[in-house]
A and B are shown apart, each in its own frame.
Chain A
Amino acid sequence: MTAVATLENAEPKSADTTTTDRIAVRHRSVARPLLYGALVLCALLTLLPFLWVLSGSLRSLDEIRSDPGAWLPDDVTLDNFTRLFATAGFGRFLVNSIVVAAIVVAGNIVAASAAGYAIAKLDFAGRRIAFGAVMAALMVPFTAVFVPQFVITVDLGLADTLAGIALPSVAMPLSVFIMRQYALSIPDELLEAARIDGAGEFRIFFRIFLPLAGPAVATITIMSFLNSWNYFIWPLIVAQSTSGYTLPVGLAATSQAAAHVTDYGLMLAGAIVVMLPVLVLFLFLQRHFVQGIAGTGMR
């Protein structure tokens, strides 16, 4: 399989690869339909949960009760979504999630652009310490620090507030790391030239560096949005009243409430509202997602 892989991947084949080509061709004729079949099967298995939620969320309560196993709705209805926002409080959860995401994304763009640039491009006392802090922060597990984080949040008077949920994520080390890696690829001469022309450090940052850092800012925006939108355990700890729930916490709480346990349609509609924004973004901007997660190997 691998032989085929590398051969096909790469540029035009040179003359001395004919043997391999012949081997590859022979294998291909048998293996290829099998390979496609297996991949399509795996893809369907992966997608199954998504399709199932989508179909379930569009079925009426009666229909689900009478035939829970059916795969397609007889009558497509948006009733579940209406109830979700009218009676289950998801409008509020949605607004909360958007507010938290806005704070987190804005914070990360500002904090990480500045910090990543400084660590990569400025020569100063404590540079290694600063980078060490970024790496340390990447490694400290959330489980290890959430109790003191909670105490600090309470001390700051931020318990049960959206700011309390957002603040620990406003300067994610992952964002700083992404910006630092990107800044390293920008030639020093560019900044040095501006310095010789007498431009101040802030001017250089805003006028020369930031306009070039678009791709990194995009990745940071997407990664911090993804993190804040999907974040579950910290909002679960900080949000104490229903009105302060973000979408994932609201969905989890609603699904555990006795009134809704069997209301599959409502819960599946809730799942759609929680999943959809990220999935749509992912479809259009997957390069950034993959870079952000795989490029550094961290979520």
Chain B
Amino acid sequence: MIAGSPRKARRSRGARRTAVAWLFLAPFTLAFLLYTAIPTVAALGFSLTDLRGTDLRHPLAVDFIGLDNYLRLFRDESFLRDLLNTALFVAVGVPLTMGVGFTLALAVNSGIRRLRGVFRTVFFAPVVTNVVAVALIWQYAFNANGTVNEVLGAVGFAGPNWLDDPDLAMPVVILLGVWRNFGTAMVLFLAGLQAVPRDVYEAAAIDGAGRWRQLRHITLPLLLPTTLMVTVLLTVFYLQVFDEPYLLTDGGPLGSTESVALYTYHQFGSGEFGVSSAASFVTLVLVTLVSVVQFRLLRPRT
């Protein structure tokens, strides 16, 4: 970069630098190509073929079938039902998770000094807890003789068998998603709240704004970027929700909790790699759309 140095030397030094840099990047690049780039392209390719699990040993038996898998998907009532289920996960799970996370962030961030760290730790613990273990607890808690029904029984209600009821299973599955994710939302909101300059509140208080008005007219508008980020993050999570329905109900009863991701997995499990890839590509498109919206909305601020 020294001015006046011979161009040739500069270019060869540049080439050397580039070679060294890519050497540093080699392990990541290799993993990226093998497990992200190639699979993404391959998933699209697979979705246009009649690839089955049994074809892995006979690649020549695979035929190109155009958009047949997609046509099949959108004619498959169970896939359409799963799209709706996934929409329900997003529509209920995202606001609920955000609401709990935001409320707790406000509470933890308000006056309390004592126990503040303890509360933050406790509320974040579900995020790092293994979902298989928690799902087990959920199953015991919500079965016919479980803890939840015991509590209900104590106040005179006969509780149902939650996870076997097509109407009640979904709320329980969503609740597990909320329990696992509200800690993430809380921590992000906490970071947002702590970034709000306090003199803004002082000015508002002097002008006679009560707490509710401060919340509505100062906190919420200033937290808009955080809220947007949390929304996108949770939407992407719930669009791909798998662990919760798989572990609690395996999509049942009667498919009432099967998500698109679980459909993808079930098709894969029965050897329908082509159909499975088509379904997974639908998820990719949905997630990409959400990410694009995020970038559009956040760009002016970042």
Which A positions have Cβ atoms within 8 angstroms of B?
A: 1-10, 16-17, 19-20, 23-24, 27-28, 32, 35-36, 38-39, 42-43, 46-47, 49-50, 52-53, 68-69, 107, 110-112, 114-115, 117-119, 122-127, 130, 133-134, 136-137, 139-152, 154, 167-168, 170-171, 173, 176, 201-202, 205, 226, 229-230, 232-233, 237, 247-249, 251-252, 255, 264, 267-268, 270-272, 274-275, 278-279, 282-283, 286, 289-290, 293-294, 297-299
Complex interface bits, B71-112 against A, C-beta within 8 A gives 1, otherwise 0: 000000000000000000000000000000000101111111
Which listed residue, B34, B56, B111, B243, touches A32 by the CB 8 Å rule?
Answer: B111
How many A-B contacts if CB must be within 8 Å?
312
CB-defined contacts of B5 to chain A, threshold 8 Å: none
Query: Which of B140-148, B157-165, B166-174 binds A?
Result: B140-148
- Given A122-B17, A124-B21, A293-B187, is A115 in contact with B28 using a C-beta cutoff of 8 Å? yes
Q: Which residues, 115 to 172 on B, are CB-close (under 8 Å) to A? A: 115, 118-134, 136-141, 145, 147, 150
Docked Cα-Cα span, A130 to B26, in Å, equals: 10
Q: Are B24 and A117 in contact (CB under 8 A)?
A: yes
Q: Are A42 and B191 in contact (CB under 8 A)?
A: no
Docked Cα-Cα span, A201 to B22, in Å, equals: 12
Whether B196 is near chain A, meaning CB under 8 Å from some CB there, is yes
- What are some 21 contacts across the A-B interface (CB < 8 A)? A3-B214, A42-B107, A46-B179, A107-B27, A111-B28, A119-B25, A126-B21, A130-B25, A139-B287, A143-B240, A144-B43, A146-B39, A146-B268, A147-B273, A149-B35, A173-B32, A249-B132, A268-B136, A283-B121, A290-B120, A297-B230
- Given A171-B27, A298-B233, is A275 in contact with B184 using a C-beta cutoff of 8 Å? no
7 A-B pairs besides A110-B27, A249-B132 with CB distance below 8 A are: A4-B110, A118-B22, A144-B280, A167-B35, A201-B24, A230-B128, A290-B124
CB-defined contacts of B32 to chain A, threshold 8 Å: 133, 137, 171, 173
Docked Cα-Cα span, A48 to B30, in Å, equals: 44
CB-defined contacts of A147 to chain B, threshold 8 Å: 39, 43, 46, 264, 268, 273, 276-277, 280
Which listed residue, A6, A20, A119, A298, touches B196 by the CB 8 Å rule?
Answer: A6
Residue of A nearest to B150 (CB): A69
CB-defined contacts of B122 to chain A, threshold 8 Å: 43, 46-47
CB-defined contacts of B236 to chain A, threshold 8 Å: 141
- Given A168-B35, A205-B24, is A49 in contact with B214 using a C-beta cutoff of 8 Å? no
CB-defined contacts of B130 to chain A, threshold 8 Å: 229-230, 247-248, 271, 274-275, 278
Docked Cα-Cα span, A36 to B115, in Å, equals: 9
Q: Are A278 and B40 in contact (CB under 8 A)?
A: no
CB-defined contacts of A47 to chain B, threshold 8 Å: 122, 125
Docked Cα-Cα span, A244 to B284, in Å, equals: 30
Whether B20 is near chain A, meaning CB under 8 Å from some CB there, is yes
CB-defined contacts of B283 to chain A, threshold 8 Å: 141, 143-144
CB-defined contacts of B268 to chain A, threshold 8 Å: 146-147, 150, 237
CB-defined contacts of B54 to chain A, threshold 8 Å: none
Q: Are A17 and B24 in contact (CB under 8 A)?
A: no
Q: Are B132 and A252 in contact (CB under 8 A)?
A: yes
Residue of B nearest to A3 (CB): B201
Which listed residue, A144, A226, A299, touches B284 by the CB 8 Å rule?
Answer: A144
Q: Are A8 and B111 in contact (CB under 8 A)?
A: yes
Complex interface bits, B258-302 against A, C-beta within 8 A gives 1, otherwise 0: 001100110010000100110011011001100100000000000
Q: Are B280 and A286 in contact (CB under 8 A)?
A: no
Q: Are B25 and A232 in contact (CB under 8 A)?
A: no
Whether B48 is near chain A, meaning CB under 8 Å from some CB there, is no
Complex interface bits, B223-267 against A, C-beta within 8 A gives 1, otherwise 0: 000000110010011011011001100000000000011001100
